[in-house]
Amino acid sequence: DADVTQTPRNRITKTGKRIMLECSQTKGHDRMYWYRQDPGLGLRLIYYSFDVKDINKGEISDGYSVSRQAQAKFSLSLESAIPNQTALYFCATSRGQGLKQYFGPGTRLTVT
Amino acid sequence: GENVEQHPSTLSVQEGDSAVIKCTYSDSASNYFPWYKQELGKGPQLIIDIRSNVGEKKDQRIAVTLNKTAKHFSLHITETQPEDSAVYFCAASIGGNFGNEKLTFGTGTRLTIIP
């Protein structure tokens, strides 16, 4: 969905480096999410935010942190990247309690 | 927490035939069940959803059925076309209670339509 953008789209980094993935949305949604996708494991929730002052851990938050800089921006950081964090990362947004989530195009991250 | 299982992991069907993907969930309080389609190189896109007060929902060639007693729901695609080839994800959520509106996804089904 073009209303949800992610940067970068691809990134290769080395073990131990700090890296930030960014998500922006023009949908005006209050809720934003970060997911990780691995082959055979589906989409797993890393962090989610229901508004600017609300940050919650998902099922796999260890090794990750987030920042909600504004309603439209939600960043995911890997403080010290490790190879098993190699995956496809998706940002998503939703409005209120509607539950319908709209996904960005994804960031493919490779940690060597 | 909620656990969603999805089968099969891969499915190949002849163009024009029907495809069925099944999911089961563990939390009887779940009341919202969406299906997402992910095409190569893109993010998942919502294609249909159903709430627990409805047993079936249709949208052209796509339908979803829900059996609350058995805690399973299915995606049905009829008259399949090459553009239906993609990875499909089911999900479940407890909706309506602040703080609980999180989707738990299945592991995905790679559907291939054979021309």
Tens of pLDDT, residue by residue over A83-105, are 999 999 999 999 876 678 999 99
Burial of A112 (0-12, 13-18, 19+ CB in 10 A): exposed
Q: What is the pLDDT of residues B23-67, one digit of tens each?
A: 999 999 898 999 999 999 999 999 999 988 889 999 999 999 999
Chain B positions touching A103 (Cβ under 8 A) are 36, 43-45
Measure the CA–CA gap between A32 and A95, rounded to whole angstroms: 9
**Contact A10/B at CB under 8 A:** no
Q: Choose among A37, A32, A45: nearest CA to B107.
A: A37
Q: Residue B89: which of A42, A48, A92 has the nearest Cβ?
A: A42
Q: What's the length of chain B?
A: 115
At residue A69's C-alpha, the angle toward residues A8 and B32, to 5°, is: 80
Nearest by CB to A1, from B9, B43, B96: name it: B43
Report CB contact under 8 Å: A103, B44. yes
CB contacts, 8 Å: B46 with chain A:
100-102
Per-residue pLDDT of chain A (112 residues; tens, 9 = 90+): 569 999 999 999 999 999 999 999 999 999 999 999 998 889 999 999 988 999 999 999 999 999 999 999 999 999 999 999 999 999 999 987 667 899 999 999 999 9
